[in-house]
Structure 1
């Protein structure tokens, strides 16, 4: 196994070694830089580098474990005592406590491996005869190392090069040990994994939407490299990839429509979707099979995916396009689930004009305004009751609990709002009204509309903590809205600094986003306010074993790094 990295990038190399469970050393070189990763049964356990900045002593100085003077004195002692490792010298002479060395060595090894994910050029060769001569080995779960390495790739073109052939199919790993690994996935990675429920082409996964194309490809790259998802057929060689990429590009160019026709179709479809049910949105009958629904969804998702048109459309047209795509995705999410579909069928059973025929063609653009108004009025007719002659009745805002009870969820009962007919509402009344609308949308899992409602409530009454909490809860449903969800909860914590439930929500948000250290800090903040908080205690307890792990520090390395390099990279 040897070759060039521009033909087989490092993520694919580590995937291949992992899936085949090989043992040995993968040597990589780029001009004068040389690195090596040691594997045992497909798992990376150790790594070395000839870069000065990646040596143990430099890392200890950089992170403040020792100062430069101590490092230089220890280096001189290493030269005078050949055969002794730097770590041993440092510990024996009191420059650093032995307990602090092993985690730094593991950090050093991890950083060397992470750096290789960004190598675009260089040579590699795998030698199955060599083993790691070290008592310190990585204790981090291997798939998480691989996923983190892919997350750190800055050059998106490197990831795109891996998936040049959009027609290639992937599927969940057949090996249960690879498929069910209990990895801590980021929301984007979990989202993509949930969509790959069988053999799917890369282009089909991209067409599903929900994430920008670059985020979807990065998540796919991590999942495939970690072995959680696998290719349905062997990897093609470079010539086949380039041919497939050219074919895909030509097909896309030949399929481009004129901008005028695109705009016309977007406007016509957006108008039609205003009053369309989910079956009409997908263009299928109510007796359609799951396969027919799936095919209809893929076709529409590919046709109306916002990323397909990039920035060539005006803002208002692109906004309509995003609405169409969201509606298509929403329809598919309901109709693909048998239970959700049955409930939806019951909901629309009494709808006038319901038939088993295929839906009518979209109406003309000129009908859109009237249809949108009719749709809006009908939508809220059942949710807002007018009571002439009465003052507005609203439910008082109940602040989040400050006790150790679980984080509150929205009430099951849909709120009813009674407003005075013909009377102007104050900002507080408007905020309360939009808040209750947002609760309805949240209960219906219509998170986009819920976010819009709660944003309006926050805009009207910025100091209302409950509004911000509900807005953050809705935003947390989409990984692209993470930053805004975090900002809302941080602002809420400023308004009510002694509300433990806000810190719990922040901790859970960070945990969901794959930020364990931030999550732990927020759970501890909650405990400082409420020492008996069950959620905080439970979440912190899961990390206890990792914090208590300690290794035997008597022997760090059995041979000198320089000696290892001379053996690994010597000319034959």
Structure 2
């Protein structure tokens, strides 16, 4: 058994190299008490495992509502008898191959999600086909699943501290060729990667991407998690021998001006909220000595540096003018307290609303699936449409709404739209591609149908139904 250990490369780098070299074996990632294992066969992800209870296959399947919670104990008992987790859940819960594959894929995405950004983790790669103890194999592209995991991590805020409230400069990754070719990026992600060709402040990048209509913060965080962009709080690195004092000052002024946009007057003046009048006066005096625009005349330091200093000093003056007067300071403190209270209330209200909508959507989804199973397609469409309206970001809601709609010829076009949306939200969804292919067969579009079945077989070459349906298109 060949073992390679690294302490200088994060798990993402390992996985991409294993994929590129089409290796077979197990990558073990350890951080704190957590141990994650990614099993790979010929460069494709076979399955993933973890010692965290929430990552266990049976708990994943319970959360997906593919098996009942009552199955947990029988599964544990069967595993004690020597069965693997996949064998145990299939026997205890009578789980079909399709549902098992969904569970294994969700488990893999969840585990990949947890290791992204773990730059301090210890990684070991054990090479050898004999190490893979499970017979099942997802056979999925590692870059594809990493992209899905990165998007999931951003959407669910499972982020390293540096990406929760990003500051600093975005820089292109240090790599040969086009790093974006590693991953099947969507249009907004590819555009953002092309946009950041040189060091750019994070806030500036968000502003440049805002007109696209997407969520620029989410797009940029995804690219950073995938290592396609670097986030550096210090700013762009340059040859120290060529950096002048004015260059350093420009970087410092840019950082302070960005901070002023969201900082309180106390933070701008570099004092605490309980600062005394003397402390406020002393801090103002020190800042004036350092940043007064008269110190940086345009004829000596350049018009841009003089303008930046002037803008910063106007913020400092405003802060001092307000906080040095007892009445204006009291009014500002009251307004600051109200603002913080409104923000807290808004966050709590949004969280409460999101949770409530999620519960309502889950109930409607269950009712829709029951109606679908009973053949009451009109009722199923009604329930599942409400699910999509409440939670449009859930691929499964679009999928089953389309399954119900394609039973009505008048709704074929809508069904196609929802299946395409489900695939957009979950690009590796075999079920949605299969249903879309069947829909195209119904409307006599065999070439389009064949393209969908071929895509299913690309992910799962032995998919019997897709093989048979593909033959029918010839």
Q: Report TM bin, short chain.
A: 0.3 to 0.5
TM (normalized to structure 2)?
A: 0.46
Structure showing greater relative contact order (alpha-carbon pairs closer than 8 Å, 6 or more residues apart) = 1
| TM-score of the two chains, using structure 1 as the length reference | 0.39
Going by fraction, where is helix more abundant, 1 or 2? 2
